[in-house]
Structure 1
Amino acid sequence: MNLRITYIKIIFRMGILTFLTNFFASCSDTRSAFKPGFLAAAGYYVRQGKVYYYGGFNNASAKELLGANAKSFEVFDEISHGQKGTSLYARDDKHVYYAGELLRNADAQTFKVLGSELGKDNNHVFSRTSVLSNDPENFVELREGFYKDSKTVFMGDRIISDDPENFSFLETMDGITYWSDSKGIIANDIRMDSADFHSFWILRYGYSADKDHVYLIEDASLKVLTEIDPKTFRVLSQYYTMDENRVYWRGKVLPHSNPDSFKILNEEVHCSHDGERAYHWNNIIPHVNPAKFPDDKRCKYCTDKEVVF
């Protein structure tokens, strides 16, 4: 019985797929600048002199782009990371669209695609359908998704700095790009204005430091680790760090830890010890004696109650 029900479900799904394929294939127009097929380039379709946009299976039906000129309609090409693809931007002789939405005040004749969500004409720079900058002449890409015009620095559609003249690249480390301007340090889209630029240095796994503090970028937020000594601070691994006094798990103190005898048992499952105490994450595992740990076996895992080899 279960096999029969499964077979019926498969036949039903194949029927739905065939129906959708035939429907969208019928939407094609060989006179248009593209061939829609089952899933057209970027979701745009031309049928019987009209233009439609279908954004995916979460939408009930294809939406007609009222006023669009099917004869002049075309989808922009997009170059991303050296690869050519199809943009969500499209145009006819008078209008520009993004994912089927009209870009108001966009000039179709001078419009160009800058990235997956960026485009510009002679008057504006657009992020999707919104105006990002009114200075397209000076709008340029920096690196790592950062752009600037003559007055502002952007990361995506967010304003990062109002000092483009002094905006300078420092380093990219473990997915975080560090910059500076005249006001301080920027890590991705996070300002670190409390950091001292002249003594600032970048470390692994989201850590950085200056002469006074250690900083941690985690979960898209900045943490100032005021209790850590930056002069003796060391990054041991993605999760473990130390200074001359203590060991830390992502900035949290391992209680009573001894940095001189500290050892990571298993980084992946967050097990460690300092010769006297064993830790899971930053918690002491009670009634466990590291002196009895075998030297010839690898730690498989640990919990707040035990260490298993």
Structure 2
Amino acid sequence: MLDGTSTQMFSYEIRNFKVYFNDEHLPDANWSNFKDLGHGYGKDDNHVFYMGQIMKNAHPFSFQVADNTYAKDYQYVFQHGRIVANLQPYNSQSSINCNGGTISKQSTNSSDLSRISTHKTSYEIRDFKVYFNDQYVPDARWIDFTDLGQGYGKDSHHVFFMGQFIAHAHSFSFEVLNKGYAKDRNNVFLNGQIIEGLKPLGFGSI
């Protein structure tokens, strides 16, 4: 089903505590935190979906619909739910033309992740709200929000990566290191995801 079929007629729907796409129940979708992203894409905290099917290589926290059938997360660019470009390794420079918007690979670090050139790449406070990449971040408190760089930001209660809430991050102790790494009192993170088995004590700059 992951092809160029038009997605205009289809949308996700939550009924009776279940998620449906085109009237088909999606048993792997969590209704309580599911978001319809448009253009056939949707996600919950654990999975990203295209046309009702799980995108196995997509990272839900950093996943964003870029333009039309294109989308991206911290590592890949997708079209029609399929990988069309790898945004790593970090030490390369190239660009991909996506229907008028250029997604360019930068030779800085992993969280500079290839980006839509026409969009902002940092957090911004406007009209008492926090935005990332021009997208409103509803869970962020503007009054004490700090842009930490490399896609990370936090307020006094929450930590974010690429505008997405990091559920298990501790705001007060959270610090950004290098190359997409960060840590708090409990965990070490890479691009917003916990790295299992690594302890924050003594874990310094990468």
Q: What range is the shorter-chain TM-score in? A: 0.3 to 0.5
Q: Which has the higher contact order (CA 8 A, sep 6+)?
A: 2
| TM-score normalised by L of structure 2 | 0.40
| TM-score normalised by L of structure 1 | 0.27
Q: Which has the larger radius of gyration?
A: 1
* The structure with more helix, counted as a fraction of residues: 1
